[in-house]
Amino acid sequence: MLIVQQLINGVMLGAIYVTVALAFNLTVGILNFLNFTIPSVFMLAAVIAGAAEERGLPFGLSGPLSWSAALGVGLAAGLLASLLVERLTFRYLKTRYGDATEHAIPLVSSLGFLLVFQNLARLFFGTQPHSFTSPIADANLRVSGLIVSAPQLLSLAIALSIVVAVTWILRVTRIGRALRAIAENPDATLLMGVDVKRIVPVVFALAGVLCGVAAAIFAVNYGQVYSGMGDEIGNKAVAGMVLGGLGSIWGAVVGGLIVGVAETLSIQFLGGDSVQAVVWGLLLLALVLRPEGIFGHHAIGKGKL
Amino acid sequence: MSQRDVILTLQKVSKSFSGLTVLDHLSFEVRAGERVALIGPNGAGKTTVFNVISGAYLADEGAIVLDGQDIVSKPPRARARMGLARSFQNIRLMPHLSVVENVMIGQHSRARGLADLLTPLWLTRNRHWRQEAEERLRSFGLDTYPHVVTSNLPYGVRKKIEVVRALMSHPKVLLLDEPAAGLDPRETHDLQEFLLGVAAQGVTLLVIEHDMSLVRGLCEHTIVLNFGRKIFDGPTSAVHEDPQVLEAYLGPQDAEPARRLAVGGG
Amino acid sequence: MSGYFGGVIVILSLNVILAYAIFLPVASGQLNLGGAAFQAVGAYTAGFLSTSYDLAVGPSLALSVLAGGLVALFFSFIILRTRSVYLVLATFAFSEFVSGVIVNIDALGGSVGLSVSTHISGTVVLVAAVIAAAIVLLFMQTRLGLATRAIHDDDLVSELMGIGVRWTRVIAFTLGGLLAGLAGGLYAFYFNFVDIQSFDAASSIYLLLFVLLGGTQTFWGPLVGAAFFTIVPELLRSAISAAPALAHALGVTGELDSSWRFIILGALTVAMMIVRPEGAITRIGLSRLQAALFPSRLRKRPA
């Protein structure tokens, strides 16, 4: 029964990883850009939402209006931050020689942004957790001895519906088709008359929104936000993404859930300090045995050779 | 000529990419000291031939024999050490290395043992490497900018440097992928003289080239590919009379104009 | 060596060694986003040997270099098949894994850390940095060093030219590991305290970025990167402590200097990747400088 409970908790935790991992996977899958700013965009959205809620912002609201509006502010912040990243890391970067480390220019640039976002948050919000009060945090369901909290269940539902929605967008809509075309062959897409410059921000906007949603899920579930959560949560989402496979949406889902479950199980059986070693050891093993991940697209990360 | 030893043999070599057959049981022989042209329409598989010979791709089936040894499953660096060198259709010089350093990379397959690899190149025992590279560059008139990073040099110069780099391994067989592409007629003529000089030193040449004047001026023997198969293998002088070749280039109806074109060169 | 400037020089020396530890793999085309973990291996080796076995500084340092090298050798072997983005991720995963493992080893002090009683003077650190830099400088002038740079530019062509690409990559990565181990050992003995927080993912990112901003085409790039990102934060610290009103006006709370240091590095990184992704020091830039300083030596001959 304990294991079942831990599995449930793991899946719920995984829902957050899934959402953030999906944001990663969109940029790496479509643009071949490993966007390391995503953990910090996730953190920024949460921390800004937290600050807005704490000060009764926006519009001087209070009560339930306040926290939902605050989450909206956080979401908008995530969106804006992600678009800013697009402007300054992806848009102007061109490779000149195509040598071994040049593919990493956008990646390096995103590491720079990661440092900026993280440390700005640290400066202006400190390192202590801010509590985030939401009225539904304490609602639990009990099913034959197992506890399932309502926000957790809601989170999982939201995460999965987002996955379905993104899949649908990519499969059915015109923008989605253009995005998939870019993922297949950026040069040919340009020739086909798709305006890549206009489409690329869509990917970043989606990633920003996903980070905002993940931040909201986190704030409501854990009742707190802090400037270090990008490192703690976001990096595990990276692990989930890679484990599932770069560029695969369902890979992000499976990978995120695996990491969530591995985390709760290792806390249960090996103690809290073991999480990091277990999660990253798992990922390292996966990278060595199957570099492209469980559902990975083997072409991603390959150069011109 | 037939008495000369065969130095490179392809036996029924095939290669396909995701279902598309690029080389289809291709066989041919190159004799030591020969100058052979490999020509054919676009997409005939010429560069793929070079890639399977040099080991950039592994052949799906067949044998490749270099100087008596089957090299078909050997790694590229082993083939380089056995005396195979090549240039590339799109210039592949190391962009951040200087001209001399690029040429010295060509010497790498001749370096032996830790002493060659792990002692500074300015030591007395190693100085001959740089001297040799500089001398080679000078003898081809390429010593104007020896310390400039190659990405800053004009196209024609880089093209020649690539040939010099390939020569630095003292190859038995030199594969040149469109050496004259992008060169003007004067430069092409210089290149022809230069390559004839190289061949005179006993290097076997296998050259992919579209410029028929260079092919005629340089190569005594020509192999024509079409859709990954050999359609002609004989003296260069007979190429433009071969009906299959003419058909491959311009289709059956245009055989006559094609013949004139081939004779006219261009 | 002591006092404020002595302290700055020690930090500079450690940063220089670390910069070269990252530079060597990058020069062969492998971005290492786990530098701090290799440093941690060295630091904990030195700390553990000297506290638990009373081993002298010399042998402890030698073994910490060896430990860093062995771990790097092992790691570079298992990731031989991994490329580009996956390689970066693997180094990142590896560093998180290493710190996750170290925290769980009680003999290494767990999350509390390890106190090291033997102290070395700053001079030792400085001398080690000079030696390490000299070794890297010599290595880059060997044929293997040349091959390393060739692989960075084009690994396929390098292989076709007869270079053993995999071996060269393993060697470059292992040499980097040796240097990182050295930096770790020196860190343990100079600061007399080792804890895993000092070797976190942010340190690895910081390291990689200052090497890339310095430039990885030449030996001098990492040196410039390390110097810049050691000295500028120091200047910044004094500037901010001189103008507390400014900091207050910005509404700044929390750890002042380290956060600003990272923000400046981050912003510079973003800007540099747009205008000059190859880093501050490039071969072209150096040869222009050389031409300006010694015009006679590079006289162009007529074509």
Q: What is the ipTM of this complex?
A: 0.86
Could you state, in order of their start, the residue ranges of all structural domains in chain B? Answer: 3-91+171-262
Distance CA C291, CA C303 (A): 18
Q: Decide: B48 and B22 in contact? Cβ < 8 Å.
A: yes
Tokens at C265, concatenated: 């590095």
Q: Decide: A242 and A287 in contact? Cβ < 8 Å.
A: yes
Strand partners, B173: B84, B204
Chain B neighbours, 3+ Cβ pairs < 8 A: A, C
The position carrying tokens 């060997």 is C142
Within-domain flag for C223: no
List, for residues C113-165, the tens digit of each pLDDT value: 899 888 999 999 999 999 999 999 999 999 999 999 999 988 889 999 999 99
List, for residues B141-150, the tens digit of each pLDDT value: 887 777 777 8
Nearest chain A Cα to B93, which residue? A97
List phi, psi (to 5°) of B207: -125, 125
> Three-state SS for C117?
coil
Range of the domain at C118: 3-199
Q: Which strand (E) or helix (H) includes residue B20?
A: strand B20-31
DSSP per-residue codes, C253-268: -S-HHHHHHHHHHHHH
Chain A contact set for B151 (CB, 8 A): 96-97
List, for residues A144-184, the tens digit of each pLDDT value: 777 777 777 888 888 889 888 888 888 888 888 888 777 77
Res. C236: pLDDT tops 70? yes
Chain B contact set for A97 (CB, 8 A): 95-96, 151
Partner-chain residue, chosen from A117, A123, A279, that has the shortest CB–CB distance to C254: A123
In this prediction, residues A43-47 reach a mean pLDDT of 92
CB atoms within 10 A of CB C293: 9
Taking the Cβ of residue B58 and every Cβ of chain C, the question of whether any pair is shorter than 8 Å is answered with no
Within-domain flag for C252: no
Distance CA C289, CA C298 (A): 11
> CB–CB of C143 and B98 under 8 A?
no
Q: Decide: B159 and B183 in contact? Cβ < 8 Å.
A: yes
The position carrying tokens 């992919």 is B208
Q: Which strand (E) or helix (H) includes residue C156?
A: helix C155-160
Tokens at B89, concatenated: 């259709």
CB atoms within 10 A of CB C54: 10
Within-domain flag for C208: no
Within-domain flag for C235: no
Tokens at B51, concatenated: 């890639």
Q: How many residues does chain B have?
A: 266
> CB–CB of C301 and B169 under 8 A?
no
The single-letter DSSP state of residue B134 is H
Q: Decide: B223 and B229 in contact? Cβ < 8 Å.
A: no
Distance CA A42, CA A214 (A): 7
Taking the Cβ of residue A288 and every Cβ of chain C, the question of whether any pair is shorter than 8 Å is answered with yes
Distances (CA, A) of A190 to A32, C26, C136: 16, 32, 44
Distance CA C263, CA A121 (A): 10
Chain A contact set for C78 (CB, 8 A): 288
List phi, psi (to 5°) of C195: -135, 155
Chain B contact set for C175 (CB, 8 A): none
> CB–CB of B165 and C138 under 8 A?
no
Nearest chain B Cα to C297, which residue? B147
Q: Predicted confidence band at A305 (pLDDT cuts at 50, 70, 90)?
A: very low
Chain C contact set for A242 (CB, 8 A): 86, 89, 93
Residues 6+ apart with CB under 8 A from C128: C13, C17, C182, C186
For domain B3-91+171-262, give the fold. Rossmann fold (3.40.50)
Partner-chain residue, chosen from B111, B116, B144, that has the shortest CB–CB distance to C300: B144
The position carrying tokens 């190149």 is B121
Domains: count for chain C: 1
> How close, in Å, is residue C38 to chain B by CA atoms?
24
Instruction: Give this prediction's pTM.
Output: 0.87
Determine the pLDDT at residue A139. 63
Within-domain flag for C57: yes
Tokens at C54, concatenated: 């009373």
C127-141 burial, b at 16+ Cβ within 10 Å, e below that, comes to ebbeebbeebeebbb
In this prediction, residues B220-229 reach a mean pLDDT of 91
Chain C contact set for A103 (CB, 8 A): 84-85
